[in-house]
Structure 1
Amino acid sequence: MSATPRFGKLIGASLGPGDPGMITRRAWAALQSDARWLYPVKKAEESSYALAIVERGGLAIPADAEQLVFPMTRDPEILGKAWARAAVRTVELLAEGRDLLFLVEGDASTFSTFGHLARVVRELAPQVAVETIPGVSSFAAAAAATGTTLAEEDETFAIIPAAYGVELIDHLLDEFDTLALLKVKPLLDEIIELLARRDLLATSCFIEKVGSPEERVVRDLASLHGSKANYLSLLLVQNPKRQRGELRRGCRSRREAAEVAAGGN
């Protein structure tokens, strides 16, 4: 009877959105450990944005670093097969007993491939230990780069993938003080038109590949209409016409009124 394999640990190492100076000390230590590197690509033998962040930090790529392919498609069959291949290969490597370090751009817990990979790996091998190293998210870095305050005191803030559509974005502009709209490339023109109708262009900002050498910040959103944007782009939108923090204040007022009524009984 063959011995049960001692699985290594699967570690999601958040690297921040582009600037290697945003890599945390914890992630930096993991990169210099004995763990084998895995990194995501959209196509086989394509360059990896996550790997490039580490390279700019001055670390050499280990000879045994291995890529996992996660294609950019909405075809469920193609995606399913790709995810299955990636998970199976990850389990095979973990069964060798060595820890695996999966390189993640941004934060591993926020719109990242790592969460899905870890879940499928645990389905295949429940005994695998998973560790997540948190990092700087793209919207937090974008806010710092542009001097934008995402929220203060009792203000509200929402993070929305732009793919949900302009109708939802339009609604949420009345519900939140600040929106971070991620992956805006496919709907950029429609969002710009919406913001123009809402007279919010002046309080919105476009940021592309934040923290990288190719970082681009555009405050004149009208100038972007009809142009192409990189996949790694986002918009920070603030609605100054909304009474800042009104949702929280409204909830607090209702709670206080209920407490007064209860005290009077």
Structure 2
Amino acid sequence: MAAIYAVGVGPGDPELLTRKAERILRSVDVICAPTGAAEAASYALSIVEEFIDRSRQEVLVQVFPMVKDQQGLDPFWEQAADQVAERVAAGKDVAFITIGDPFLYSTYLYIHRILLAKYPDIKIEVIPGISSILASSAISNTPLGLAKERIAILPATYENAELKRTLEEFDTVILMKVNRVFDRVYAVLKELGLEKRAAFVRRVGSSEEEVHFDLAALLGKKLDYLSMLIVRKNEL
């Protein structure tokens, strides 16, 4: 019986794929790759291109608009889920690839809920991937948690009044999607005396990877969407 595989392809380095992820990608009939716009390339697809045989595998690029307000976008998710289900019904195994891990702030989750509701009989297997959080922690030499330390993961664009309180209450705070609100976040860090306790990581695992500890040097600059801040208050 054909199945859907939600495959985490890691943060950018093909060598960070799990052996199982590579095996699935090489064996399925269809690869579904998300992109933020019809004219844009799929970052997830660029990571796994070397494992795909286009002479025998279909590559289906699906558009998932990357906007803060998801209201009104259900038709995109419905269409994507229907396209996947159609191929499974035809007896084809489908791998939906997503950067990082499928169950951590991933594009895949938008269609996962639709697949569960509309196509409950389809088998779905989730293949975990190395998240950009773990990769950024490693490349910046910033441990995430030790013993009783508390960790928080936040989409920075959604945080306003709560940001300061979270930084006060947790030992390590990971701020995702920080590019558009970096200056505001920096102001909060400086107020709390934490501006020297953070690492900014851009496009971890790719050829464009950058790590910055001098956050003040980034103020006022246009920053990459695929970037994050890791704030660790405690020394080891």
The one of 166, 170, 174 equivalent to 2:168 is: 174
8 Å contact kept, 2:200–2:229: yes
Write the mapping of 1:91-130 to structure 2, written as runs, cut at 5 A.
91-130=85-124
8 Å contact kept, 1:91–1:124: no
Counterpart AA for 1:76:
Q
The one of 71, 75, 87 equivalent to 1:76 is: 71
- Please state if 1:216 is matched with 2:207: no
Cα distance in 1 for partners of 2:28, 2:232 equals 45
What SS does the aligned partner of 1:174 have? Answer: helix
Cα distance in 1 for partners of 2:47, 2:189 equals 33
Q: 1:251 aligns to what? A: none
1:212-265 C-alpha deviation (Å, 9 max, x unpaired): 111111110001110011111100002249xx9xxxxxxxxxxxxxxxxxxxxx
Tell me the CA shift for residue 179 of structure 1: 0.3
Q: 1:54 to 1:76 in 2, by over 3 A?
A: same
Q: 2:5 aligns to what? A: 11
The one of 192, 198, 202 equivalent to 2:196 is: 202
1:153-205 C-alpha deviation (Å, 9 max, x unpaired): 11111111102224212101121100010011121110011111111111101
Cα distance in 1 for partners of 2:192, 2:93 equals 51
List gaps (5 residues or longer) in structure 1: 1-5, 245-265
Tell me the CA shift for residue 61 of structure 1: 5.0
Counterpart AA for 2:26:
Q
Percent of aligned positions with the same letter in both sequences?
36
Cα distance in 2 for partners of 1:154, 1:75 equals 36
Cα distance in 2 for partners of 1:206, 1:69 equals 28
Cα distance in 1 for partners of 2:141, 2:60 equals 38
What SS does the aligned partner of 1:76 have? Answer: coil
Task: Provide the TM-score with structure 2 as the length reference.
Answer: 0.94
Counterpart AA for 1:115:
L
Tell me the CA shift for residue 45 of structure 1: 4.1
The one of 45, 51, 59 equivalent to 2:51 is: 59
List gaps (5 residues or longer) in structure 2: none
- Aligned-residue Cα RMSD (Å) equals 1.6
8 Å contact kept, 1:10–1:118: no
Cα distance in 2 for partners of 1:93, 1:166 equals 43
Write the mapping of 1:114-193 to structure 2, written as runs, cut at 5 A.
114-193=108-187
How many residues get paired? 233
Cα distance in 2 for partners of 1:34, 1:177 equals 42
Tell me the CA shift for residue 62 of structure 1: 2.0
Cα distance in 2 for partners of 1:240, 1:102 equals 38
Tell me the CA shift for residue 37 of structure 1: 0.6
Counterpart AA for 1:179:
V
Task: Provide the TM-score with structure 1 as the length reference.
Answer: 0.84
Cα distance in 2 for partners of 1:124, 1:25 equals 31
